[in-house]
DNA sequence: TTTAACTTTCAAAAAGTTTTGAAAGTTAAA
DNA sequence: TTTAACTTTCAAAACTTTTTGAAAGTTAAA
């Protein structure tokens, strides 16, 4: 397989994975493109390499920056901005976990906490099932939350050497 | 808050979470409905409680069964089938992790393995960046894969006793 | 300043996904 | 076997999300 073909396959695969996990396909593709680029790319280069519009490239790059996966670079004497992706897989995983926790897990936990407080007739099977399902799922979510906290705080070395041992 | 209102909120929240994570909103809502139902429900009941069509209810229930989250129950002397959700949060998490691993992680790993084999000029920065990004992400994916394997094999007790102690 | 090289916005269009419901299929009981 | 109670299918419609591109906005350099 040629490098160009392999890059394309990587971009497509990363894009598919993203969309299966609720992340905009184009955003994942732009991320993949930057992951395999040794140097920062301009918006123009992203547009032409992925055949996407200027508006789309702009929004997507801003999203990637807000996810903490990409940063802008400025070159002296040039108006153009360049975009560069953090290439460290563990940083990427941490960053994504951190953002999704903030955007999705925490809001859900707030609702679950509220629902766990709902009072009712403890003889009513409907109430009993509701309460135990909610509390059980809440415990799971709290646990996920805590695990992500630990993950976010962890150093790379700690992660590769210690964390996965638990699961071996 | 009334129980009925709380149930509705639970169903909506679970539905939203599902769609943020690439799981059909209705499927997540049907799952939530069954999670708070002490008894199995018929397709008819699911349809009317969530105001969805017969076709949608049927497909969604079959999907939930294929995810291992719901099972059909048959009552002697009745044609109708009833649907019942496993209420155990740890089983649910394991089941979802197992299915997503099979449906998404493993196919991606196959592509990454293939891409990690691509040969090229090790003096070329494009090739070097490609190779190291692919290998690094592959290592992460392999770790995730292994972690899920362990999770799937783990007993409930192991999980609850090791992780959830603080929250009970 | 002014200019022009760039970035950002956003309404409309396109693409993708989900839902509907009527018709076809299935099967348990009579 | 026939019937009718139920389940399944799938093409078309509705809905949701993403993308486009032209216009507006910004700003560094001349």
What is the pLDDT at residue B167?
A: 38
Q: Mind listing the pLDDT tens digit for each residue in B16-47? A: 999 999 999 999 999 999 999 999 999 999 99
Distance of CA A91 to the CA centre of its chain: 11
Chain A window 54-73, residues with Cβ within 7 A of nucleic strand C = 54-55, 58-59, 61-62
Chain B CB within 8 Å of residue A168 CB? yes
Annotated domain spans of chain A: 3-85, 89-167
Mean pLDDT, residues A53-82 taken together: 94
Nearest CA in chain B to A15: B108
Q: Which residue has the tokens 């992925």?
A: A50
Question: Residue A156: pLDDT band by 50, 70, 90 thresholds?
Answer: low
Distance between A89 CA and the closest CA of chain B, angstroms = 6
Chain B window 81-140, residues with Cβ within 7 A of nucleic strand C = none
- pLDDT at residue B56 above 90? yes
- For residue A9, list chain B residues with Cβ-Cβ distance below 8 A: 111, 114-115
What is the pLDDT at residue A153?
A: 86
Q: Answer whether B94's CB lies under 8 Å from A136's CB.
A: no
Interface contact B19-A20, CB threshold 8 A = no
- pLDDT at residue B94 above 80? yes
- pLDDT at residue B168 above 80? no
Question: Residue A78: pLDDT band by 50, 70, 90 thresholds?
Answer: confident
A3-85: which CATH number, 1.10.287.3510, 1.10.10.10, 1.10.3720.10, 3.40.50.300?
1.10.10.10
* Residue A152 or B42, more confident: B42
Full 3-state SS string of B45-77: HHHHHHCCCHHHHHHHHHHHHHCCCEEEEECCC
- pLDDT at residue A164 above 70? no
Chain A window 101-160, residues with Cβ within 7 A of nucleic strand C = none
What is the pLDDT at residue B160?
A: 52
Gyration radius (Cα) of chain B, Å: 21
Question: Residue B49: pLDDT band by 50, 70, 90 thresholds?
Answer: very high
Average pLDDT, chain A: 91
A81-85 vs A41-42, strand pairing mode: antiparallel
- pLDDT at residue A18 above 90? yes
Distance between B108 CA and the closest CA of chain A, angstroms = 7
Chain B CB within 8 Å of residue A140 CB? yes
What is the pLDDT at residue A32?
A: 98
What is the pLDDT at residue B150?
A: 86
Nearest CA in chain A to B140: A89
Question: Residue B128: pLDDT band by 50, 70, 90 thresholds?
Answer: very high
CB neighbourhood size of B42 (10 A): 16
What is the pLDDT at residue A44?
A: 95
Question: Residue B165: pLDDT band by 50, 70, 90 thresholds?
Answer: very low
Q: What percent of chain A has pLDDT over 70?
A: 92
What is the pLDDT at residue B159?
A: 54
**B 75-114 → A contacts, CB under 8 A:** 87-90, 92-93, 103-104, 108, 111-112, 114
The runs of H, that is alpha helices, within chain A are 3-20, 25-35, 43-50, 54-66, 89-100, 106-116, 125-153, 156-162
Q: In chain B, how long is the greatest CA-to-CA distance?
A: 74
What is the pLDDT at residue B158?
A: 53
Q: What percent of chain B has pLDDT over 70?
A: 92
């Amino acid at each position: 397989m040629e490098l160009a073909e392999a890059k394309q396959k990587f971009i497509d695969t990363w894009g598919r994975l993203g969309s299966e996990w609720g992340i905009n396909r184009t955003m994942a593709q732009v991320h993949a493109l930057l992951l395999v680029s040794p140097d920062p790319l301009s918006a123009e280069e992203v547009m032409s390499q992925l055949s996407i519009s200027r508006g789309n490239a702009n929004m997507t790059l801003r999203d990637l920056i807000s996810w903490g996966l990409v940063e802008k670079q400025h070159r002296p004497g040039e108006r153009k901005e360049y975009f560069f992706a953090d290439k460290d897989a563990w940083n990427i995983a941490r960053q994504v976990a951190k953002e999704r926790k903030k955007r999705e897990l925490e809001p859900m936990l707030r609702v679950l906490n509220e629902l766990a407080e709902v009072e009712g007739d403890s003889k009513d099977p409907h109430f009993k099932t509701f309460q135990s399902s909610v509390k059980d799922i809440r415990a799971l979510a709290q646990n996920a939350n805590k695990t992500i906290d630990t993950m976010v705080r962890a150093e790379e070395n700690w992660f590769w050497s210690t964390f996965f041992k638990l699961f071996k």
